[in-house]
Amino acid sequence: MIKSQCVWIHAAKLLANGGNGSLSNDCRVLKNIHEWDVPVFFPPEVIVEVKALACEQPSKYSIPISRWNISDIARTVQQTGLVASISNTTIWRWLHEDAIKPWQHRCWIFPRDPQFTAKASLILDLYARIWDNKPLREDEFVLSADEKTSIQARRRKHPTVGTKPGSAMKVEHEYTRCGAWAYIAALDVHRAKLFGRCEEKNGIAPFERLVAQVMNQSPYKDARRVFWIVDNGSSHRGIKCIERLKQQYPRIHIVHGPVHASWLNQIEIYFSILQRKALTPNDFSSLQVAKERILGFQDYYQSIAKPFNWEFTKKDLFSLLNKIQLPTVA
């Protein structure tokens, strides 16, 4: 459907002989307006087809690109004969209405743990201070623990130049490696208390030193139960880890998250804060200076920190899993 724009013809200039001197010019202008400034109305089926195309992989149409952009979509719908012509702006407006952005991408890992729902539900319950469908008591605590490995100390080959008016900080690109730390840490998720240590490498013994550091001080040594949320790394993997730590600390409960689900572990949020606030840019004169920065920031952060406002619930989990067609359990 094409709707013509209403056009007023300019008043004609009369020639000396009484003729209309601007009639031919006005006709050309009117013709150009019809050709260039005519809004086109597309039926709903065309809009749906264009949005569907934007959600497909370009390879389906034998186009050797990895992602669509607006121009690619416009060119393809014209080549396939869906429309005779269409503007990039029109396609952008249609995609914007449904927040379809085929030019963007992000990586993800599909949940492959057969017990994903059950394990994730336990962790989300603990964040809500629930265990076995019962509220946790005041003397029961929840900790999230993991390792941030290979934190390098890089000594730059030229001193860093500070910020100046109109000039950002300048950090030399080349550096000398001074070694690396494995930072092993635990976060009390409801009290915003941090416990951490820098080790030469991660492993079972370094992780158990962190556990001892926490479990041998108040209020954890006298607690009714202390839940430790961990991933499936080699330092604390499987039933052997549970049995080994249970023998040393009868009050401890190790809760393993699903495979490839670090986003459920709140200590990862703190690691990202540490990376942004204390370790970037990486410019340390020695390994000891890097250690002082890591542990110094740990003390600084917990002096001003509050518990993370964790809003992702079991209801949200089930909704997410339904979208990707993963079976759920109550």
Which tens digits make up the pLDDT trace of 24-37? 554 454 444 444 44
Query: With 0-12 CB in 10 A as exposed, 13-18 as middle and 19+ as buried, what is 330?
Result: exposed
Hey, how many other C-beta atoms are within 10 angstroms of the C-beta on 115? 13
pLDDT score at 323? 83
How many whole angstroms separate alpha carbon 128 and alpha carbon 225? Answer: 16
pLDDT (average), residues 191-208: 96
> Residue 57 is encoded by which pair of tokens?
């992989």
Domains and CATH numbers, the chain: 23-97 (no CATH), 116-323 (3.30.420.10)
pLDDT (average), residues 14-43: 53
pLDDT score at 34? 45
How many whole angstroms separate alpha carbon 23 and alpha carbon 104? Answer: 52
> Residue 119 is encoded by which pair of tokens?
């394990």
pLDDT tier for residue 156 given thresholds of 50, 70 and 90: very high
DSSP character for 173? Answer: S
pLDDT score at 326? 56
> Residue 251 is encoded by which pair of tokens?
């009050």
SS3 of residue 256 by DSSP = strand
Location of structure tokens 């979509």: 73
Contact present, 151 and 180 (Cβ < 8 Å): yes
Structure pTM?
Answer: 0.77
**pLDDT tens for each residue of 95-138:** 999 999 999 998 888 888 889 999 999 999 999 999 999 999 99
> Residue 290 is encoded by which pair of tokens?
């890097």
SS3 of residue 177 by DSSP = strand
How many whole angstroms separate alpha carbon 295 and alpha carbon 197? Answer: 7
Give the dihedral of Cα atoms 289, 292, 293, 295; nearest 10 deg. Answer: 160
7-21, 67-81, 190-204, range with the lowest pLDDT: 7-21
> Residue 150 is encoded by which pair of tokens?
């290979």
